Every structure is written in C-alpha cells, then in structure tokens.
Amino acid sequence: MVFSELYFVFGFFPLFFLCYYLFGKLFGLRGKNVTLFLFSLFFYAWGEPVYVLLMFYSTILDYTCGRIIEKGHNTENQRLKKTGLIISLVGNLGLLCTFKYLDLFIETLNYIPKVNLPLAEIALPIGISFYTFQTMSYSIDVYYGKVKAQHDIVTFGTYVTMFPQLIAGPVVRYSTVEAELMGRVENIDGFSNGLRRFIVGLGKKVIIANSMASIADGLYNPLNPAASTAHNISELGVIGSWVVIIAYTLHIYFDFSGYSDMAIGMGKMMGFKFLENFNYPYISKSITEFWRRWHISMSTFFRDYVYIPLGGSRCNTLKWIRNILIVWFATGLWHGANWTFVLWGLYFAAILLLEKFVLGKYLKKLPVINNIYALFLIVYGWVIFHMDNMTQIGEFTRTMFGGSGLLGDGKMNVLTLMSQAEIGTVSVAMFVIGAIASTPILGKLKKASEKSAVLPVLGDVALLAMFIICVAELATGSYNPFIYFAF
C-alpha cells in the first residue's frame, strides 16, 4: 500500500484516524499505540504479507538486545553490553546482506574465471533499509546511554512498524520519538497543520513527480528500455538526454520529499514530531551543502553511526580521507545492490575531498557560479544513480555532451520521440512549476501570507483544489511509482 492511492486516501487513512482517536479516547495512550501498531502491520502486509515476519524478527531482536545491553549497564558487565550490541549489529546487517546484497555478492564472485554460482533471486522486502537502520540505531543508542531500553514490546513494536515512515523514511531514531511514544498530546492545530502537510506532499508526488516520471521514463527508462520511445540512449541526442536527466532530477526530489512530507504530516496528526528530511537541496552552493540539505535523516545517520565512530575529522589527513571513502562507499551501497550506486557514492566522496582541499575557499567567493557548479554536479550524479550499469553511464554521458549529435543518431529524431512520450505544454509547465517549487520562493510567500487574515484562507482553498486534482489524477490510474521503495 502506498500513500498516493485512492484506497489509502479514502479507505485506510480515514479509518485509521477514526480508530486511533476512538481507542485513544477509550484506552488512552495504550489504545493509541496498539491501534498504530496493528494498522501499521496491516499496512505493510497489504503488499508484503510474508515479509511481515522480518519486521517481527527485527522488533524482537532489538527489543531483546536493548534489554541485554541495559542489564550490562546495570551490572557494569561490559562483556554483556558488547554481546547485546554485537548481536544487534550482526542480526540487522545479516538481514540486509541476505535479502538485499546476496545476489550482488554472487554476481561479483561470478566474475572469477570458472565460477558460475546460481543467483538466489530473493525478492527485496520493501523498506528493509529503513527499518533495519532504525532498530539498529536504537540498540547503539542504548549501548552508549543516549536512550533507555524500552520494556514494553508493543511500544517498541509501534516504533519499528510506524506506517507513515515505515517503507521510505525518513529514518526516525528512537531518541527523537521516545518521549512521544510514552506520552503525546494531539490537538486541532497539530492535526490541521499535519493534514495540510500531507496534502502538500501528495501534490508534490502526484502532480509534479509523476509528471516528471512519465517524461523521463517515457523517453528512456534504463530498467525497461522497451517501455520507452528511445530504445537506445544514442537516439536521444543532446536535447533528449538532458530532458531525461532534468526530468529525473525533479522526479526524484519531489517523489522522495513528497513522501517525507506525507510522513511528517501524518506524524503531526498523531502528535509525533518527525525531523525534516529535505531543505531545498537544489539551491546548494556546494556539494558539501547539498548533503546537509538532501535526505537529512540518512546523512546524519551515517555521520553519527559510521563517520564519527571511525574518528570523523579528529584524526590525521590520511585517516580522514579513509573515513570519507568508507562512509560514501556505504552510503552508495545502502541505496541499492548495484555497483553503480557505489560509484555514485564514491563520486560524491571525490567531490567532497576536492572541495575540502581545493575548491572550498573559491566557491564562497563566486555567488551564482557556485550554484551552477553544484547543480551541474548534482544533476550528473543522478545519471550515475539512474543508469543500470557502467556501459549505460558511459553511453549516456557521451550522448549528453554531443556524442550522438544534437537530435540523436537513431532513425527517429528527438522531437518525434518527445511527441510519442506525450511531452507537450502541460509537461513544459510542470518543468517550470517543479523548478520554482524546488526553491524557497513558495515557502517565503506562504510565510508572508500568514500576516494577512485573508491569504491563509485562500491558501487552504488552493490546498483543497490541489487535493481534488490529485484525486482526479489517481482516479485515471496515472503513472504512480515511488523511487525509494526500491531501496
């Protein structure tokens, strides 16, 4: 089940909140947590009935490890504490390696001469990268005394399975919601603001992200070229390749930030305050700044649980470079079981090192140029991220910079391909709307309007109109993928 589907919007969503508030009224906090826990299990089981067992495994594993670590704290038994932590790390990383990376490992071994192992072909459980990181971070935080071990397994299970951010983030740490799991207060302002945030996220996803996805994938989809008008990258030419990657750049931002907005909004409606996950990343003046604004929950996770334990920047230069390379290798690999994702991570590692040692002092002195510099590198990074293999990356890069001519070298020119992909006036308008919405302009206008007595009402009318448009789009069965479900 996904948020941008009619049976979620008009079925699951209202039924959940009706039960949540009803049982909260009857049974207090316990009623709210049990309702959230059970509905979250149903939400996940809708698409992954068998893999619910993995969630039970993660819940029981880290609940138990937390108690073991706590006992080690209380008895000052360092061995017991370390045992609990090691079991958590091995259990969670083992789960990820088995279900996400086993085939990548086998494929890599098969490059060795005379090695031809069969692939396991295990289906990837949706959201496994998110909930394993969350449960693992809990055990680590208990180990370092940042949070207390949770003694109620239902409350802990509520944290693990919480459906708003379960399958595509943001990565919510136990420390950020610990107090709210144990006692939270909902009010009409929180509910209404959360509902507004949910509608904004839905609009980002359905109106902008889906439009950009239909353009990018309509012209060229590396995972399914047969479904696109261009069956070879070279057919796109300079114009087509840039249209594809700019559309993808907008698609991935509005798709993922839209999901995060919906998750944060629903959290507010329940009394939770999830941390922000995006802060206008495409206005960054450097790649260093970009990674402070993009997928913030993941970036801070790797900073706090990998980079800092390795020594961070408080070490000699060679060790610091090592730390950067390890973190970005892991960041790339987290995104998918393909060496292209590792290349994508190391691509950013190289740029970050270059900014640290060479470019950083110059970028601060070059306004506008630093924005263009960062945006160009970000967009090209999505080429590496989007393509399915190294050959496609090389061919797409060659095509972007004129290797197949301005209009492509296929039998059909790019203008014909675009017409077949139904790129028209509406699509061009979506490009413009997406470009504007990816900057703080609309946010500043909204903040300025709050001083008026009339404009906030007009804003709510606009949100209602946006919601109606979204429903109309979903009713037509429009193209509706979520990128980060694959990670």
Structural tokens at position 254? 């509005």
For helices 153-161 and 13-45, the axis angle rounded to 10 degrees is 90
Instruction: Report how far residue 307's alpha carbon sits from residue 18's, in angstroms, rounded to the nearest whole number.
Output: 43
Helix axes 425-437, 210-219, angle to 10 degrees: 120
- The Cα 421–Cα 424 span in angstroms is 9
Q: Looking at 73, 251, 335, 386, which residue is catalytic?
A: 335
| 251 is known as an active-site residue | no
Kindly report each contact of residues 329-337 with a partner whose C-beta sits within 8 Å and lies 24 or more positions away, as own/partner.
330/302, 330/306, 331/298, 331/302, 333/101, 334/129, 334/298, 334/302, 334/487, 335/385, 335/487, 336/486, 336/487, 337/100, 337/101, 337/103, 337/104, 337/124
Q: For the beta carbon of residue 372, count every other beta carbon within 10 angstroms.
A: 11
Count CA atoms closer than 13 A to 83's CA, side-chain side: 11
- Give first-to-last CA distance, the chain, whole Å: 16
Alpha-helix residue ranges (DSSP H) falling in 271-403: 287-293, 296-302, 308-310, 317-335, 339-354, 360-363, 369-386, 390-400
Active site members:
335
